[in-house]
Structure 1
Amino acid sequence: MTDAAPTGADEKKSAASAREIKALAHPLRLRILRLCGLHELTNKQLADRLGQDPGTVLYHVRQLLSAGFLEAAEVRAGESGALEKPYRSTGRSWNLDTALGEAGPGGPLAPVEAFREELAEAGPDALTSLSRFVLHLSDRDAEDLIRRIGAVLDDYTGSDRQRRDQPAYGGIFVLHRSPD
């Protein structure tokens, strides 16, 4: 599952606020969102899974809570019987048009860095498909390609809850202008 509650293919995504852009401009926050889109996890579970200090993870969880990307799930009893406070993704990030460049120089690359870390953690055997390409496109052609791929992703994310019993796949679509 993704951090998704998608719009329809023809609906325009809403503009993200400065707070939302900042919250999404950090690779660790994006990884937290992905994990909490798959499972309701506590701060300790997130820290263990991400190999991070719980205090560091809590700081990032609070940023995501404040921006409305995470919400507290029902308190539950853990394995030892102690009460746990898990978090889950709200799915809001899928419906935002985020200008991550406004978050500073690292902002636009945060999703790429998060994906790189997730792929490294999964290992080379987890890779099911890779397409690397160079295309010559007009601005109009590039917009059309982005719209069409976005529509396919919206279709799949919109019906993802129906396939929760299936294995989870992650991916990223990146189209960039070549410096050449």
Structure 2
Amino acid sequence: MIEPDPDADARALASTLRLRILRLCLDEARTNREIAERLGKNPATVLHHVRTLVDRGFLVAEPVRRGARGSREVPYRSTGKSWRIPPFPGKQQVMVNAFLEELAEAPDDSVQMTRLGVRLSPAEHAELLDRIDGFFAELAEREPTPGGDPYSMLFAMHLDAGRIAEPAEPGA
């Protein structure tokens, strides 16, 4: 049992590389060597990050298996815990950076993006966020579709500071 520690969880997720590792181990267990090869990183560096994720319960080790040359390999799988972590300072930037790295690897014809500016009342804003959170929660709880294609999604919404009316100067 991993002791609850929101600060330790936040530190564990405050790394673009760690978020990429979690995504790689989402659908299938991967060994440290497989993760390092896929990300083009040094296996020792990746092992440090894998151990951090295991220590905080974001990855779980599966039974040891034999590698190509008979070596012992430990495959790791994402637990889904990262989906339930509350916001922490810098979380948005780390998530965007991980998404941008994954996006750079995606085939151009597989990417669909929309950018939209809207005006919403506080009630409409709350309703939209509830609907989006509900939809993402539903997707996170679904069992993966056997043979389905893996997709990565990022939803971001922010107050559009550039469109906020400047307050009128006194006497103007």
Structures share a fold, TM > 0.5?
yes
Task: Pick one of 83, 92, 100 that aligns with 1:108.
Answer: 92
Per-residue CA deviations over 1:74-132 (Å, capped at 9, x if unaligned) read 10112222221111111111123x2221xxxx4321011100000101232321x2111
Query: Which range is displaced more, 132-141 or 147-156?
Result: 132-141
2:136 is aligned with 1:136:
no
2:87 alignment counterpart: 99
Task: Count matched residues.
Answer: 159
Which AA in structure 2 matches 1:113? N
Instruction: Identify which of structures 1 and 2 has the higher relative contact order when contacts are C-alpha pairs closer than 8 Å and 6+ apart.
Output: 1
Aligned to 1:59: 48
Q: CA deviation at 1:16?
A: 7.0
Q: Work out whether residues 77 and 84 of structure 1, in 8 Å CA contact, stay in contact via their aligned partners in 2.
A: yes
1:165 is the counterpart of 2:150: no
Query: 2-side partners of 1:139 and 1:62: how far apart?
Result: 42
Bigger shift: 170-179 or 134-143?
134-143
Q: Are residue 71 (structure 1) and residue 55 (structure 2) matched? A: no
Q: Distance in 2 between matches of 1:75 and 1:91?
A: 21
2:106 to 90, 112, 122: 122
Q: Shift of residue 140 of structure 1?
A: 3.4
Q: Percent identity among equivalent residues? A: 40
Question: TM-score when scaled to structure 2?
Answer: 0.84
User: 3-state SS of the aligned residue for 1:160?
Assistant: coil
Q: Which among 134, 158, 161 is matched to residue 151 of structure 1?
A: 134
Pick the structure with greater CA Rg: 2
Instruction: Output the CA distance in 2 between the equivalents of 1:132 and 1:47.
Output: 34
Q: Whole-Å Cα distance in 2 between the matches of residues 140 and 133 of structure 1?
A: 19
- Unaligned segments of structure 2, at least 5 residues: 163-172
Aligned to 1:174: 156
SS in 2 for 1:99: coil
The TM-score normalised by the length of structure 1 is 0.81
Structure 1 position 89 matched with structure 2 position 68: no
Q: CA RMSD in A?
A: 1.8
Q: Aligned equivalents of 1:24 and 1:55: distance in 2?
A: 19
Q: Point out where structure 1 has 5 or more consecutive residues left out of the alignment.
A: 1-14
Q: Deviations over 1:42-66 (max 9, x none)?
A: 1111111011111211111111111
Partner of 2:30, secondary structure, is coil
Distance in 1 (alpha carbons) for counterparts of 2:135 and 2:92: 23
